[in-house]
Amino acid sequence: MKKIVLSCLLTAVFMVVLFIFGTGYYVGNYAVHFGLERGTAEHPQEPPRAYALLMPPEARQYTKPDYPAENWQVESRDDLHLKLHATHFSPGVPSNKWVIVVHGYGCTEANSWYIAANYLQMGWHVLTPDLRAAGKSEGRYLTMGYRESDDLELWASRIAQEYPQAKVVLHGVSMGAATVMIAAGKENLPQNVVAAIEDCGYTSAYDELANQLTSSFRIPAFPMMNLLDWRCQRVAGFSLHDAVPLDAVKHARVPLLFIHGTKDTLVPPEMAQELYDAANAPAKQLLYIDGAAHAAASQKDQEKYFTTVARFVAPYVGS
């Protein structure tokens, strides 16, 4: 009788464990495909479904800067050898000032054109890349700034190689800001990169997604985040703990300007203060834009935004 009871208990435990792992596998897989995988059979360049629900195609209307432009392409240095696309805009006047404007989650280079236009008006060369798994660049999964930062370093190296006198500034928004911060801490960052600007970036991909689960969806971070990261490693080939701007800024090799909107409900403004406090950059500054929502600071107070940017980078790019 005891053997029968023990056998039943072991079977029950096994079934419960199997159910938990099976459910976790399904939930984790769904979350990865929903949030990090781009494209469908009909529309291979469509952003992840999580973004597409918030920003349908008809709402994606952008004005391309009316300046001379040429397409650039590089190949990623990882094992995927992805073909990456960018547009180089020329200001029409001689200049050694360059900026790489990096778009956010689910976006394309077109989302960078508003910021690009302001730099062009100031006489800067501008490069607007499509990050991997976005726009015309190849790739299946976003990595929340982790591998994108390697690609950004590659773009900066391309500029340095072709324009040795260039003074390059990195300027990213949201996930693009995370990409910029991680790149700013890399040992092999070209010396031509002289400053970096992050706009509404997060402290880490893990913390940001956990914050969204609890604040927006009322879902406990545990065990959902563990399941998501587990499947993320297996399916997308990286861990959410790999994308940690908070650690990167502790090793920043260039001056850092932190910008955040006070009405940002997607990335808490408190994260900007955490990043600023942790930054061990040659110089740093924190700017809050009153009333600005997520990724809208440059449009909420355009004059304050770009005046602050210009003043911050002036000592490093020259007149």
pLDDT in tens, 52-76: 777 777 777 899 999 999 999 999 9
Side chain identity at residue 67, one-letter code: Y
CA–CA–CA angle 174, 35, 133 (5° rounding): 70
CA–CA–CA angle 36, 41, 42 (5° rounding): 115
Query: What are 157-206's pLDDT values in tens digits?
Result: 999 999 999 999 999 999 999 999 999 999 999 999 999 999 999 999 99
Question: What is the sign, positive or negative, of the torsion defined by CA atoms of 7, 9, 13, 15?
Answer: positive
**What is the reported pTM?**
0.91
The pLDDT value recorded for residue 8 is 44
Strands (E), 192-283: 193-199, 256-261
CA–CA distance, 309 with 293 (Å, rounded to integer): 19
Element (H, E) at 97: strand 97-102
User: 48: which residues sit within 8 A by CB, 6+ positions away?
Assistant: 34, 35, 36, 37, 38, 106, 142
Note the residue count of the chain: 319
CATH 3.30.70.1110 assigned to domain 65-204+243-317? The reply is: no
